[in-house]
Amino acid sequence: MKTIQLKLMALVICYFLGIQNTLSQNQNNTTNTDIDILFEKYNNNNTPGIAVSVSKDGEVVYQKEFGMANLEYEIPITEKTKFHAASLSKQFTAFLILKLEDEGLLSINDDVRTYIPELPDYGNTITINHLLTHSSGIRDQWRLLELAGWRMDDVIKTEQVFKLITNQKELNFVPGDNFKYSNSGYTLLAIIVERLTKTSFANYAKQIIFKPLQMSDSFFYDDHEVIVPNRAYSYKKVNDKLKKSNLNFATVGPTSLFTTTLDMNKWAQNFKTRTIGNERIFQSMNQKAQKNDGTISSYAKGQFVKNYKGYKMIYHSGSDAGYRCYFARFPELGYEFSLFANASYISAYDEIFKLIDYYLQDQYPSSEKDGQSSKSFQYDDNLFVNLSNAEIEKFEGTYFDREQKQYWKVQIQNDTLYCKGGIIPEAMKLHPVGKKNFKIKGTPYDISVNFKENDYNEPILEFRIPDIIWLWLIRVKEVNTSDYLGSYYNNELNVEYELVKKENELYLTHQKLDDIKIEQINRAYFSSNNRNFSNIRFKRNNAGKVVEFSVSNGSIENITFSRK
């Protein structure tokens, strides 16, 4: 979601700076009553495609399928096509846990180790609620597997995932302190369900959810060799060429639900009809989590909750291999939207919001229909100060955006400091409001650019728009890389990487994986386009010798590889 916010924010800033004169066509202005035209590019026999559905007050108002479920045998997508639903699985897992609580078999405030004693004692209690709300601090299973040398098209079973989770000696953070999406938590929830019900998770879901709701084409896929009739196969693009994107998961809880748009409509209606479940269960599912400091997360239980153009939106997306999906409910308006796709290059977010904006455009407040206000953010002129070239030249240099993997330039032009790069294509004038603090004029936002140091005493640029974005860009400084080379080992993953130099470039190598190119940003910090090694920090001993590096990647914080 941060990437989407960045793109939208960049468009607005560019517009107000006069950099970009034309914006993408507003979907709200769609006037063609034939909604099929929104998805026309998938309406052929040569590409994967999508299945979409819209219901209003319990009635399906739009249902259509486009493209192919199987390219090799030229099988089109139909309303009976089963898609791997990836993380949409989580709301079904959450429902089953809350159903067990409602029956008095557990409490979501229970210590997880009551049911899973194999989990290490981390010194702080991890509750079932922490697992449900992604606030446990437990490292994410997919990133752990990839760091351990697994490929995502390997056969991956719950037993193997469980061993990896329980072998972790540290957490990302104190349980309840933060929100960090962790599939591991939902694997543990599925195991709790199995241990309490004495049956497989897949069978329990069938008996409690799918049979009562007559979701006859839905099931949890816990055996990667099971034949799935009417399955949509998974695809990707490599150099503009379509290829298969194999998926061999046999792990349930966070993923592996197979379903159809028709069955998802039945699930959507149950939030209102409550054929299964009750007020207590659904109120708990829809309630956003509270962190230890009292702040409220955007995540409830198996669902995100946010305000979209004045209305409550409860939603979740999913992506595994080439499968992409999105399911959104607007309870105040009576609308539900679902979309499934079978190619990784298809943006489920972009496609489903074509539908959402089409159907809800008449419901939006007038300010949303008219677009962004044209007024620039107004600063008090007394806020600004004058700085000499000597005072600002120390900020000149190249800065690296750790999130987007992009470079920014800060330099003086005509006695004025400018910055550009990343999401902003043209130089922006920095107006000083202090010795190290600047503002950018001419946009609808209060944009701050601050020069400071991080916890490692490294120079950084902080780019901040309140309630929208907060970027830390680290200053680039080249140093000799020869003393980083060697072998590095992690015992929690039982994996070793070799750091080598090839043609003056640095690579991490592993016998099962393609070489991973890494790039030095400064003496300690390295980065990579590989999502598992996106942030690497090297540590030296008192003698100055490199002894280890730690990896953080959005799902894992500071997992350490020691130099052999």
At 29 the pLDDT is: 38
Share of the chain above pLDDT 90, in %: 84
Both tokens of residue 518? 């890494």
Both tokens of residue 382? 């007394």
Return the SS3 of 370: helix
At 3 the pLDDT is: 52
pTM for the full model?
Answer: 0.88
Query: CA geometry: angle at 302 spanning 299 and 306, to 5°?
Result: 35
Mean per-residue pLDDT, 501-514: 94
Find out whether 338 and 53 touch, Cβ atoms under 8 Å: yes
Find out whether 561 and 498 touch, Cβ atoms under 8 Å: no
Candidates 192, 145, 135; CA nearest to 165 is 145
Q: Report the Cα 302 to chain-centroid distance in Å.
A: 14
pLDDT in tens, 463-496: 999 877 888 899 999 788 889 999 999 999 999 9
Mean per-residue pLDDT, 222-248: 96
DSSP string, 239-304: TTEEEE----EE--SSS-EEE-HHHHHHHHHHHHH-SSS-HHHHHHHHSPPB-TTSPBPSB-SSSE
State how beta strands 486-490 and 495-502 pair.
antiparallel
Which residues, other chains included, contact 243 with Cβ-Cβ below 8 Å and sequence gap of 6+?
Answer: 235, 236, 237
What whole-number distance in Å separates Cα of residue 294 and Cα of residue 347?
34
Lowest mean pLDDT among 89-103, 453-467, 512-526: 453-467
One fold for both 381-475 and 482-563?
A: yes
CATH architecture of the domain with residue range 381-475 = Beta Barrel (2.40)
At 9 the pLDDT is: 58
Residue type for 181, please? Answer: Y
pLDDT in tens, 79-88: 999 999 999 9
27 has pLDDT over 60: no
What whole-number distance in Å separates Cα of residue 3 and Cα of residue 136?
25
At 13 the pLDDT is: 56
At 31 the pLDDT is: 40
At 481 the pLDDT is: 86
At 30 the pLDDT is: 39
Find out whether 121 and 112 touch, Cβ atoms under 8 Å: no
323 has pLDDT over 90: yes
Instruction: Name the band, by pLDDT with cuts 50, 70 and 90, for residue 107.
Output: very high
Assigned CATH topology for domain 82-228+247-302: Beta-lactamase (3.40.710)
Instruction: Name the band, by pLDDT with cuts 50, 70 and 90, for residue 396.
Output: very high
Lowest mean pLDDT among 19-28, 180-189, 403-412: 19-28
Which residues, other chains included, contact 409 with Cβ-Cβ below 8 Å and sequence gap of 6+?
Answer: 398, 399, 419, 420, 421
Lowest mean pLDDT among 56-65, 120-129, 402-411, 481-490: 402-411
Mean per-residue pLDDT, 239-259: 96
Find out whether 467 and 451 touch, Cβ atoms under 8 Å: no
Candidates 434, 456, 465, 449; CA nearest to 399 is 449
Instruction: Name the band, by pLDDT with cuts 50, 70 and 90, for residue 6.
Output: low
Per-domain boundaries in the chain: 82-228+247-302, 381-475, 482-563
**Is it true that domain 482-563 has CATH number 2.60.120.890?**
no
Residue with token string 């069938």:
206
What whole-number distance in Å separates Cα of residue 315 and Cα of residue 267?
13
